[in-house]
Chain A
Amino acid sequence: MNKTAKTKFLNQTRTEKISRIGTYILLTALCIMWLYPIIWIVLNAFRTEFNADGTMVGTVVSHYWPKQFGLDNFRELFTNTYFPKWFMNTLFVAVFSCILSTILTLSVAYVMSKMKFKLRKPFMNIAIIMGLFPGFMSMIAIYYILKALGLTQTLAALILCYSAGAGLGFYVGKGFFDTVPNALVEAARIDGADEARIFVSVILPISKPTIVYTALMSFMAPWMDFIFARVILGEQNTELHTVAVGLYYMMYGQIVDTSRFTVFTAGCVCVAIPIVALFMWLQKYYIEGTTAGSVKG
Chain B
Amino acid sequence: MSARKDGSPATPRMEERLYQNRYLVDDGRPHVKINRREGGDSEELKSLIRICPAGCYSLNEDGRVEVAPDGCMECGTCRILCQDTGELDWSYPRGGFGILFKFG
Physical interaction between A and B: no
Interface of B toward A, CB cutoff 8 Å? none
Interface of A toward B, CB cutoff 8 Å? none
